[in-house]
Amino acid sequence: MDKDGIIALLNQDLEGEHGAIIQYLTHAYAMGEGEIACEIEPLARDEMRHLDWLAEAIIELGGVPSLERGKMRMGGESVADWMRNDVLLEEDGINLYREHIKIIDNPKIKRLLQRILSDEESHHGDFEHFVNKAQKEGAKDVRGSRTDKVVQTLNWGIEHEYTVILQYMFQSYKTTNPEAKKQMEDQAVNEMQHLGWLAEKIIDINGDPRIEHTEVDRSTRTADMLRADIKIEQEVAAAYDRAASETEDPDLKQLLLRIRDHEIYHTAIFNDLLKEEE
């Protein structure tokens, strides 16, 4: 199989990992602080590592990692139903990895896929266990119906954080500047923290987190990447500042200001990198 064929298959796998991350996080956040939710989040982090490995392999082969999100199995009347959907999503991934391992003749790529497959088989068993656990313990959907301006603002924050996570990870794969790569990866991790904080806050105030993103900048020159990053960080820091000034909830104000300060820090990092790049 030629490189283009392998890249196409790896992008299918990458899109599947992307979908799994969002499905599992959605289920974890919707359960609040329960034990099952805490057990699901490490599985989502495993899928994040898989996505990263696949993207790096695609870049090494001369390809471009996909930013599309693969099929998800959402819906269900109960937490047990969600866990059954997670079992089915793992089965989808396992079947695809097994198929790709058979048809890809590159030994390094085959070895990577076998490594990921091992995790997915373990996850499959975990989610089967969670089906029974959810039924036995009566785990519930704790999302609420609040849809006021506060919830809308927090969901806007999630949308931003999700977008820049994808943007910074994509840029980290494409840049040839080692320091920029490191910083983009680091700031993406910080944005993942922000997304989690915002989703948890929405649950706390009886809302429903929406994990969706907007258009991702796909610049290929490092200087252009950094300019796009500086622009979005400046805009969002100002937006978080405005949102903080408008709320009377002290805990929410503290959260928004904390995230604002992180975004200001990101801007400074990217500015320093841009000066060196120019």
Rounded percentage of the chain residues whose pLDDT exceeds 70: 100
pLDDT of 34 reads: 84
Task: Render pLDDT for 234-250 as a digit per residue (tens, 0 to 9).
Answer: 999 999 999 999 999 99
pLDDT over 90 at 1, yes or no:
no
What residue ranges do the domains of the chain occupy? Answer: 3-137, 149-277
Q: CA 201, CA 207: separation in Å to the nearest integer?
A: 9
Interval 167-193 mean pLDDT:
97
Confidence category of residue 33, pLDDT binned at 50, 70, 90: confident
b/e for 238-248, b at 16 or more Cβ within 10 A? ebbbebbeebe
Task: Render pLDDT for 51-110 as a digit per residue (tens, 0 to 9).
Answer: 999 999 999 999 999 999 999 999 999 999 999 999 999 999 999 999 999 999 999 999
Can you list the alpha helix ranges (DSSP code H) found in the chain?
3-30, 35-60, 79-103, 107-137, 149-174, 178-204, 222-246, 250-277
Task: Render pLDDT for 212-233 as a digit per residue (tens, 0 to 9).
Answer: 999 999 998 999 999 999 999 9
pLDDT over 90 at 278, yes or no:
no
pLDDT over 90 at 167, yes or no:
yes
Q: Does 3-137 match 149-277 in CATH topology? A: yes
Q: CA 167, CA 190: separation in Å to the nearest integer?
A: 13
CATH number for domain 149-277, candidates 3.40.50.720, 1.20.1260.10, 3.30.230.70, 3.40.50.150:
1.20.1260.10
Residues 6+ apart with CB under 8 A from 224: none
Question: How does DSSP assign 200-213, residue by residue?
Answer: HHHHHTT-------
Query: 3-137 in CATH: which number?
Result: 1.20.1260.10
